Structure 1
Amino acid sequence: MRSVGVEEELLLVDADTGEPRAVSGAVLASAREEEELEKELQREQVETGTRPRREMADLAVEIRRWRGAASQRARAAGAEVAALATSPLENHPSLSPGDRYRRMAEEYGLTAQEQLTCGCHVHVSVESDEEGVAVLDRIRPWLSPLLAMSANSPFWQGEDSGYHSYRNRVWGRWPSAGPVEVFGSAERYHEQVRSMIETGALLDEGMIYFDARLSRSYPTVEIRVADVCLDARDTVVIAALARALVETAARAWRAGEPPTPVGVGALRLAAWRASRSGLSGDLVHPVTFKPAPAETVVRALLDHAGAALSDAGDLALVKEGVEEIFRRGNGADVQRAVFDDTGDLSAVVAEAVRRTVA
């Protein structure tokens, strides 16, 4: 069974006002060596990371453990952590120290300065770069439903953005972000990465911000399309679906089935629709590339990856989790519901803080 690891970016917020607080230095300085906490681009956020796990129950325990550790360290610094993909409240983020972040600010201007966004990155093990690229080629149409399910960023700078995942729109400002073409081989993937870096538009390979890519550090495919999820249970569902998509794609590759020859333009439109509508309207169907109700698209995803989910023992967990997401709504739905009840974006953040470590 393929192993899975999850990285979650979390906001650091004021316990009273809900505004982002630049205390990542204090949070990281107080963290124990065994606590998987890392700095991110902005001082108002921190990243957690699990170890590779094969059982979703074990992964769930780790996700909650590191959320709890981040919460404990944030409180010691006079703040809280919130699993929000963007801050609902107006903010002016401050870059973390370091030469690389300084260079990013100089090169990319407002794109870097305003980039206070929090994603969820799922690492799924692969046997080789060749298998990994074959997977990347075949999962492309199925990533937008993951974005719609995880969408958790409706507010931006104190305003309702009109989107379920405005993080996806802000993240798309980076020059290499978004969906990619079919590569066909590991050699062509690496050649494309080298060519992109040689243009001078990217600082280094770390700025290959594809929706899914080969990890530089681990023998994994890294699926990066999701918002950080408000509820840790949703993170587990996204991770289980990501593993099933990787396994389904690898089986298709071994069976000689070619990838869907859909263009990057159509994939960008599908991502836009997922970020705009979440689960509240139509999505672009990954097979027909026509509009279809969100529930129909998610059911198609479950059918597509069903055999792999079943073989991993994850089918019941994912079906139950998907039903819960549709019943409750994704993170964006929850945030808007709180705001509709209270008219107070600070209350939205307070509820997010509660749910992050619930």
Structure 2
Amino acid sequence: MSPPHATLARLGQDVVAGRAIARQAAEDVGVRVAALGTSPLPADPHPVQLRRFRAMMEEYGLTAREQLTCGCHIHVSVESQEEAVAVLDRMRNWLPVLVALSANSPFWHGEDSGYASYRSQVWNRWPSAGPLELLGSPDAYHQLVHDMVSTGVAMDEGMVYFDARLSRHYPTVEIRVADVCLRPENTVLLAGIARGLVETAAREWREGIEPVAVPSALLRLAGWKASRWGLRGELLDPLTHRPASALAVVNSLLHHVRGALEDMGDLHRVEDLLDGLLADGTGAVRQLEVLHRTGDLERVVEDAADCTIATL
């Protein structure tokens, strides 16, 4: 976890520094660190032996025991809970695009899953995961959380795994849909777009612009399509909910947040980073290309470890 930052440049420095610390800690015990959403190699997870996690193993079975995934959670500050819920309502239809941009988990138990972000599929096994319906107010949000915990299906508020939610500990909106990014610069890109989404949504709320009333069932389909193809196939357009090329959808996202990015001084940095991602491909694309070139999943992991510690 990085401390809060006001600029993407400082965030990038911190991401690189944090990965360097992780690399050194790993090397101290004879291993390497790789920023991957799922392990390319077969793995046998070892759950933490704390009471809460033991209870989760017992209650959720294989869903909990197989949950060896790594996501990228992005916190963006908000001024009030009213603004936070207004943001959740107005950016929910754009979140599947972040799945496509961050896709970095094509393998599962040593096999090509056929998905760019199989982590998303594994994560959505949890009964409390997924998109929110429109809420309209903090009271409605907190009532929903209370009702979910009251069912006993979600053990506590920490297990309310919405695609985006109010942080329980900070004055932030927490965006939770993305894979951990292979390269540091893609983490910075994701954070820049996420902040642009939050600021754009907050402006729309202040201007009285109503959120797009798309059912969560359609958002699930959009999330699935982003998980399946990443940037290599069609996505669902966040405004029309019809298939469109990934490039068209990404350009639509950039157009949507352009004003906010420009006002925050992030536009040129985000455009440059996005151009780089579109040219080089996501982490999922690179992993699959290394496998196709070498036929060796261990080489995939080695290459990922090299990418993880790259500098900006």
Task: Report if TM-score (shorter chain) is over 0.5.
Answer: yes
Measured after TM superposition, the shift of residue 91 of structure 1 is: 1.1
- Asked if 1:222 is matched to 2:174, the reply is yes
Correspondent of 1:198 among 121, 130, 150: 150
For the residue of structure 1 that corresponds to 2:4, the secondary structure is coil
Partner Cα distance (1:278, 1:157) in 2: 20
Rounded to whole Å, the distance in 2 between the matches of 1:66 and 1:208 is 28
Which residue is 1:209 aligned to? 161
Shift of 1:120: 0.2
Q: Does 1:178 align with 2:141?
A: no
Structure 1 residues 323-342: Cα deviation after superposition (integer angstroms, max 9, x where no partner)? 11111100000000000100
Structure 1: tracts of 5 or more residues without a match: 1-48
Q: Given the alignment, which residue of 60, 64, 71 partners 1:119?
A: 71
Q: Does 1:238 align with 2:210?
A: no
User: Can you list the C-alpha shifts for 1:225-265, whole angstroms capped at 9, x where unaligned?
Assistant: 10000001000000000000000000000111111000011
Q: In structure 2, how many angstroms separate the alpha carbons of the residues matched to 1:122 and 1:239?
A: 6
2:228 to 254, 273, 276: 276
Matched residue, 2:273 = 321
**Alpha-carbon distance in 2 for matches of 1:96, 1:77:** 19
Q: Compare the two structures and name the one with the higher strand fraction.
A: 1
Query: What TM-score do the two structures reach when normalised by structure 1?
Result: 0.86
Which of 11, 21, 24 is 1:59 aligned to? Answer: 11
Aligned match of 2:117: 165
SS where residue 82 of structure 1 aligns?
coil
How far, CA to CA, are the matches of 1:79 and 1:177 in structure 2? Answer: 32
Letter in 1 for 2:37: A
Give, in whole Å, the separation in 2 of the partners of 1:77 and 1:176: 36
User: Are residue 309 (structure 1) and residue 261 (structure 2) matched?
Assistant: yes
| Worse-superposed segment, 275-284 or 68-77 | 68-77
1:41-93 C-alpha deviation (Å, 9 max, x unpaired): xxxxxxxx000100110001111111111111111122111100000111110
Tell me the equivalent position of 2:243. Answer: 291
| 2:293 aligned residue | 341
Distance of 1:65 and 1:87 partners within structure 2? 23
Compute the displacement of 1:97 (Å): 2.4
Distance 2:62 2:24 in 1: 32
Q: Which has the higher helix share?
A: 2
Query: 18, 41, 47: which one pairs with 1:89?
Result: 41
Structure 1 residue 206 displacement after superposition: 0.5
Q: Which residue of 2 aligns with 1:153?
A: 105
1:135 aligns with 2:87: yes
Partner SS for 1:164: coil
Structure 1 residue 96, shift from structure 2 partner: 1.4
Aligned partners of 2:33 and 2:129: how far apart in 1? 26
3-state DSSP class of the match of 1:238?
Answer: helix
How far has the Cα of 1:313 moved from its partner?
0.7
Distance in 1, Cα, partners of 2:30 & 2:251: 43
SS of residue paired to 1:203 = coil
- What is the aligned partner in structure 2 of residue 76 from structure 1? 28
1:346 partner amino acid: E
| 1:158 aligned partner, one-letter code | G
Give % identity.
56
Give me the CA root mean square deviation.
0.6
Aligned pair partner of 1:300 in 219, 236, 252: 252
Give the counterpart letter for 1:160 in structure 2: D
Structure 1 residue 99 displacement after superposition: 1.0
Q: Which amino acid aligns with 2:31?
A: A
Give the equivalent residue in structure 2 for 1:351: 303
User: In structure 2, how many angstroms separate the alpha carbons of the residues matched to 1:104 and 1:189?
Assistant: 24
Structure 1: distance between partners of 2:268 and 2:99: 21
One-letter code aligned to 1:302: L
Higher RCO structure, 1 or 2 (CA under 8 Å, sep 6+): 2
What do the CA deviations read for 1:151-200 (whole angstroms, capped 9, x no partner)? 00001001000000000000000111111100110010000000000000
Q: Which amino acid aligns with 1:77?
A: V
